[in-house]
C-alpha cells in the first residue's frame, strides 16, 4: 500500500473511526484504484499523486455511475463517502488543489423497516428463562428491562445499581445526553427479586457497582448478551431472525401501535433534537407517565396501580 493511502488510513484512526469502517473505506479505495487502472503496489508515490491530480469530476461521476449499476443505494453511499473522505484528505494536505468528489451526491436511501417480534413472541421470549436459577433470574430481569424501556444493549450493560430507582419507577441513562426513562411494573417486579436474591453473590468484587454481571462475575459483555438472547429465542420457539436490537425496535413499534406519540418515543430513546431540552419534555407532561403504563404491553394502567 502506498504512503499516500497509509497516511489517509492513519488519519481515520486518529479520528477514532471504527475498525470495521476503516477497513471498508480501505477496500473501497482498492476497488477505485483497480477501476482507475492503478496498480498501487507497483507505483511510486509521486507517480500516484500525478495520476490523482489528473482526475476530473467527470471521471469520478463515471465511476459512481458504474457502481450504481452493481450496488444497492446503501453500499453505493459508502463508496461515495470513501471517495469524499480520501480526496478531501488530499485537498487538506495540499496534495491536490480541489477534490473531484466534492459535488458527488449521495443516493436516496429508503429506511428499512426494522425487524420486530409480535407481542406474543416478546412475551414468550421474556418468559423463557427459568427464574429458579440465578442466571435465569438475571436474564429475565435484563430482557424485561430492555423491552420495558427501549434501551440500547450498550446502555443496558452499562447500568450500575445506583442508576435504578425502583420506587420512582425510573432509571437513569448516563450518556452525552443524560436522561431518565420509565420502567414498567413487570420489569420492576423482576428487578427487585434479582437485586435482592441474585446479584450480590455473583459479583467477583462485592464493591463492583455493575447491575448485570456475567458468568465471570464482572460486567456482562455484548457477546455474552447476544448469546443469551439467541438461547432464549430458541427455547421460546422463535424462528425468525433475532438480534439484541429486536426488543428495542419491538418496544417502539408496539407503543406506536398502541397510541404513544412518536415524539415521546424519540424522547425515550434520547434522540437529539433541535431543542436540546426537548428530550426531557415528556417527563413534565402530566399525562405521559399514565400513557406509558397504560399502553406499554408489559405495563399496567396508572389508575389501577394507585387503587
Q: Scanning the structure block, which residue is given the C-alpha cell 504512503?
A: 3
The DSSP-derived string for 65-103 is HHHHTTS-HHHHHHHHHHHHHHHHHHHHTTSSSS-TTTT
Nearest residue to 136 via CA among 222, 243, 231, 221: 231
Kindly report the CATH class assigned to 119-305: mainly alpha
Counted residue by residue, the chain has a size of: 307
pTM value is 0.54
pLDDT exceeds 90 at position 21 = no
pLDDT bracket for residue 273 (50, 70, 90): very low
- Amino acid 258: pLDDT: 67
Domain spans, the chain: 3-92, 119-305
pLDDT exceeds 90 at position 261 = no
Instruction: Enter the DSSP assignment of 180.
Output: E
Identify which has the larger pLDDT, 55 or 40: 55
- Amino acid 285: pLDDT: 43
Residue 165, strand partner residues: 170
pLDDT exceeds 70 at position 111 = no
Nearest residue to 211 via CA among 182, 237, 244, 172: 172
Taking only the tens place, the pLDDT of each residue in 50-83 is 888 888 999 999 999 999 999 988 899 999 999 9
Give ∠ CA 215-216-221 in degrees, rounded to 5.
75
- Amino acid 244: pLDDT: 65
Q: How many CB atoms lie within 10 A of CB 263?
A: 14
Mean per-residue pLDDT of the chain: 80
The DSSP-derived string for 244-302 is TTHHHHHHHHHHHHTT--HHHHHHHHT---SSTTGGGHHHH-TTHHHHHHHHSTT---H
Kindly report the CATH class assigned to 3-92: mainly alpha
Q: d(Cα 172, Cα 270) in Å, to the nearest integer?
A: 11
Residue 210, strand partner residues: 160
CB 272 within 8 A of CB 263: no
Nearest residue to 251 via CA among 170, 145, 165, 105: 145
Q: d(Cα 307, Cα 299) in Å, to the nearest integer?
A: 15
pLDDT bracket for residue 306 (50, 70, 90): very low
CB 249 within 8 A of CB 116: yes
Nearest residue to 138 via CA among 238, 215, 246, 243: 215
Q: Give the DSSP H or E segment for 206.
A: none
- Amino acid 50: pLDDT: 83
Amino acid at each position: 500500500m502506498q504512503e499516500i493511502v497509509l497516511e489517509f488510513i492513519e488519519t481515520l484512526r486518529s479520528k477514532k473511526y471504527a475498525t470495521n469502517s476503516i477497513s471498508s473505506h480501505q477496500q473501497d479505495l482498492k476497488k477505485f484504484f483497480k477501476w482507475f487502472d492503478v496498480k498501487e503496489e507497483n507505483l511510486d508515490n509521486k507517480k500516484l499523486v500525478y495520476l490523482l491530480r489528473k482526475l476530473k469530476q467527470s471521471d469520478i461521476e463515471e465511476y459512481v455511475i458504474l457502481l450504481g449499476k452493481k450496488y444497492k443505494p446503501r453500499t453505493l453511499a459508502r463508496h461515495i463517502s470513501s471517495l469524499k473522505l480520501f480526496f478531501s484528505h488530499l485537498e487538506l494536505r495540499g496534495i491536490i488543489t480541489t477534490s473531484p468528489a466534492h459535488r458527488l451526491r449521495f443516493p436516496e436511501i429508503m429506511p428499512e423497516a426494522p425487524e420486530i417480534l409480535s407481542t406474543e413472541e416478546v412475551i414468550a421470549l421474556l418468559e423463557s428463562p427459568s427464574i429458579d436459577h440465578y442466571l435465569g433470574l438475571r436474564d429475565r430481569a435484563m430482557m424485561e428491562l430492555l423491552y420495558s424501556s427501549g434501551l440500547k444493549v450498550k446502555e443496558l450493560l452499562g447500568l450500575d445499581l445506583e442508576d435504578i430507582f425502583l420506587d420512582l419507577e425510573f432509571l437513569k441513562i448516563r450518556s452525552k445526553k443524560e436522561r431518565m426513562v420509565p420502567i414498567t411494573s413487570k420489569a420492576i417486579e423482576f428487578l427487585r427479586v434479582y437485586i435482592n436474591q441474585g446479584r450480590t453473590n455473583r459479583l467477583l468484587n462485592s464493591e463492583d457497582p455493575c447491575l448485570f454481571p456475567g458468568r465471570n462475575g464482572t460486567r456482562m459483555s455484548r457477546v455474552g448478551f447476544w448469546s443469551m438472547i439467541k438461547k432464549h429465542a430458541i427455547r421460546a420457539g422463535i424462528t425468525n431472525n433475532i438480534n439484541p436490537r429486536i426488543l428495542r425496535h419491538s418496544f417502539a413499534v408496539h407503543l406506536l401501535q398502541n397510541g404513544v406519540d412518536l415524539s415521546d418515543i424519540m424522547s425515550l430513546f434520547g434522540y437529539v433534537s433541535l431543542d436540546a431540552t426537548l428530550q426531557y419534555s415528556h417527563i413534565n407532561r402530566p399525562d405521559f407517565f399514565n400513557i406509558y403504563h397504560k399502553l406499554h404491553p408489559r405495563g399496567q394502567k396508572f389508575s389501577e396501580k394507585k387503587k
